[in-house]
Amino acid sequence: MRATVSDLPLVLDGVSLQMGATLILDRLSLSITPGAPTLIVGPNGSGKTSLLRLLMGLASPTTGRVSWGGRTESKPLRRAILFQRPVMLRRTAAANVAYALAQAGTPRGERPARVSALLERVGLFDLAQRPARKLSGGEQQRLALARALARDPEILLLDEPTASLDPAATRGVEEIVLMAAQSGIKIVMASHDLGQVRRLAGEVMFMVRGALCERAPAAGFLDHPTTPEAAAFLRGDLVI
């Protein structure tokens, strides 16, 4: 039954999100479909994290409608999210992944093999028995990716997962993200790193003040932006 369920397309129809007097997201209408990674960029405070939370179903719109595969029920069936600073359980790396598999409903007898396969997939097989909180920042982020992949997601939402990592650790995380995309998982990722956007993105969504200002193939956005705001952002001039 689970294999027949899809959370795609993910559709926002006139969605706004307001916190008190502050408008966080402003009348967004867009559709996210299978394909190459979609990267969300924009100045700090443009609404990238809030959009990801809404796409995951962790926030409800003030106005408008969100649907996943035609359904408006927000329970995540085939999607997972990874935040910039994931919380590690006070367990080994292997036990962290096993917990994620249990939460995803994986039968107990299948979990040991799945744990090993997921740790191998993110390059942590040799650290399976290391306490998760003793891992380096890059290793913790790769472990968090393994936990997210344990849900067998169709959509993987990532909120600046390499923002605090050094270049080598960033490369390791990017390789996992690319492999996930190549396996058919739809990646939707917020990033502040334009080099990363060029390396990973199939398309770019550029946000300003909670609104979608521009959406284009990555190369076109980076080399030939069509809005003054995007051009200023790429020059490093746009400050909100």
User: Does position 135 have pLDDT exceeding 60, yes or no?
Assistant: yes
**ω before 9 within 30° of 0 (cis)?**
yes
Q: What is the mean pLDDT of residues 198-205?
A: 98
Confidence of residue 1 (pLDDT cuts 50, 70, 90): very low
User: Does position 3 have pLDDT exceeding 60, yes or no?
Assistant: no
Residue 166: per-residue pLDDT: 95
Q: How far apart are CA 134 and CA 90, in angstroms?
A: 10
Residue 2: per-residue pLDDT: 47
User: Does position 239 have pLDDT exceeding 80, yes or no?
Assistant: no
Confidence of residue 41 (pLDDT cuts 50, 70, 90): very high
Q: What is the mean pLDDT of residues 95-105?
A: 96
Q: What is the mean pLDDT of residues 216-226?
A: 97
CATH 3.40.720.10 applies to domain 2-6+21-87+153-235: no
The larger pLDDT score, comparing residue 126 to residue 1, is at 126
For the chain, the average pLDDT equals 95
Whole-prediction pTM? 0.95
| Residue ranges per structural domain of the chain | 2-6+21-87+153-235
Residue 85: per-residue pLDDT: 87
The end-to-end CA distance of the chain, in Å, is 46
